[in-house]
């Protein structure tokens, strides 16, 4: 199901990144995943890749205990430029969705500036923001794992990019439905640029 290009009916591109740290201007993307969804939230394609950081043999890979990415995983991977171009192709003309979109989008945009890659998105949507808007006080937090459990969405390998992107894709329709999106409340109200 690892498509070279997602079908034209792709409406949402759910993105997840694993990084070497929290600062988009100084830390590296180590793994990226995109799950394409149509308007009915059906998966139409998936893509995932490790990303070789600059100076791979001496690069600080950050919190390995969290993301589990070892040097052997990234040493022969394609660099950020090739992976960014692939992400740009897969996400073109779609709404980009992420859990804590501000984080993932900041890394993508910072890397795109450095690499001269342009994104042509219809906007961004944040599942973390949508969950917070629900105001469900029964939830202890709005983490991806918590929301996955709440909505019965499978999350087998947290902090692995494709697993997290699949989980975010799974909770998206539940969040939008709970907010009335698709009925009286259009999605545009929740989009960011």
The whole-model pTM stands at 0.93
Tens-place pLDDT, residues 147-181: 999 999 999 999 999 999 999 999 999 999 999 88
Question: pLDDT at residue 186 above 80?
Answer: no
pLDDT tens per residue, range 58-75: 999 999 999 999 999 999
Task: pLDDT band for 1, please (50, 70, 90 cuts).
Answer: very low
pLDDT at 185 over 90: no
Residue 189's pLDDT band (cuts 50, 70, 90): confident
pLDDT band at 138 (very low <50, low <70, confident <90, very high): confident
In 25-142, at which residue ranges do the beta strands (DSSP E only) sit?
A: 29-37, 43-50, 95-98, 123-126
Distances (CA, A) of 135 to 9, 131, 132, 150, 177: 32, 7, 6, 14, 14
**CATH 3.40.50.410 matches 12-190:** no
Q: What is the pLDDT of residue 3?
A: 55
> Of the candidates 75, 133, 96, which has an alpha carbon nearest to the alpha carbon of residue 17?
96
Listed in sequence order, the residues at least 6 apart from 134 whose beta carbon sits closer than 8 Å to its beta carbon are 175, 178, 179
pLDDT of residue 5: 76
The whole-number average pLDDT for the span 187-191 is 85
> Average pLDDT, stretch 100-108?
98
Helix axes 144-151, 127-134, angle to 10 degrees: 60
Average pLDDT over residues 80-98: 97
**Per-residue pLDDT at 192:** 85
Residue 184 pLDDT > 80, yes or no? no
24 or 139, higher pLDDT:
24
């Amino acid at each position: 199901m690892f498509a070279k290009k997602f079908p034209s009916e792709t409406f949402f591109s759910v993105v997840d990144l694993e990084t070497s740290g929290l600062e988009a201007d100084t830390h590296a993307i180590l793994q990226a995943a995109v799950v394409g969804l149509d308007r009915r939230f059906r998966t139409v394609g998936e893509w995932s890749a490790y990303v070789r950081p600059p100076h791979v043999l001496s690069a600080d890979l950050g919190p390995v205990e969290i993301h589990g990415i070892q040097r052997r995983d990234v040493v022969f991977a394609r660099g950020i430029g090739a992976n960014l171009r692939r992400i740009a192709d897969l996400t073109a003309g779609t709404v980009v969705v992420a859990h804590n979109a501000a984080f993932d989008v900041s890394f993508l945009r910072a890397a795109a500036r450095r690499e001269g890659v342009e994104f042509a998105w219809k906007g961004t949507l944040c599942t973390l923001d949508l969950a917070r808007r629900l105001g469900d006080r029964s939830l202890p937090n709005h983490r991806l794992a918590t929301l996955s459990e709440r909505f019965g969405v499978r999350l087998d390998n947290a902090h692995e990019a494709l697993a997290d992107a699949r989980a975010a894709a799974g909770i998206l329709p539940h969040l939008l439905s709970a907010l009335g999106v698709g009925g009286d409340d259009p999605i545009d109200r929740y989009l960011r640029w």
